[in-house]
Amino acid sequence: MFYKLEVKDHIRVPPDTFNLPLEEAVVKRIKKKYDGFISKDLGIVIDVSGVKEIGEGIIIPGDGASYYEAVFILLTFKPEMQEVVLGKVRDIAEFGAFMNLGPIEGMIHISQTMDDFVSFSKDKHLTGKESKRVLKVGDVCRARIIAISFSDPLNPKLGLTMRQQGLGKLEWVKEDQSKKAPAEEEKPTKEKKK
């Protein structure tokens, strides 16, 4: 899920940026510090939305830079368990599919791609034995996050599933909905006897 977070931090502004307006120099340094930052608490930092407050600057002897306590807004993506996400299949391997979710990538194990026996072909397709549904690179899919790991802070891992109702390749979801709609209309209604 995407968040706007208010963060308070001490920002080091080096002497080579003293010629810039203070807010511009601070924003530049915040972006440099937080660009690509990943943590379990914040998630993945996407951008700096703005600065709310910049405190009084101090200079530490022997450094030459100014330090400002700043309050600023970060735009982040923090994956949540059971969250439904939309993404595009980036690659397919024998063991599953890799889906690009924007700022991060998730992996769908082959057993979680569809409710069918799935086989892998060398042209990078996953095919369902009974349904004949095919998943390939470039397909847009809806999946649910079922595992999150920040054990490697520079490369968090997401586990995804598409084996639940309303999930999967968007064309499959539409097919399932159109099959379900006529079936619901045909149900006979029971009348109560008086």
Q: Return the CATH number of the domain spanning residue range 84-179.
A: 2.40.50.140
Token reading at 147: 């595992």
The pTM (predicted TM-score) of the whole model is: 0.75
For the chain, give the percent of residues with pLDDT over 90. Answer: 53
Residue with structure tokens 């391997």? 93
Q: Is domain 2-77 classified as CATH 3.30.1490.120?
A: yes
pLDDT tens string 114-145: 988 998 888 889 888 898 989 999 999 999 99
- List, for residues 54-102, the tens digit of each pLDDT value: 999 898 888 889 999 999 999 999 999 999 999 999 999 999 999 999 8
Q: 84-179: same fold as 2-77?
A: no
Q: Are 73 and 49 spatial neighbours (Cβ–Cβ below 8 Å)?
A: yes
Q: What distance in Å separates the CA atoms of residue 32 and residue 27, rounded to the nearest whole number?
A: 9
- The ranges assigned to domains in the chain are 2-77, 84-179
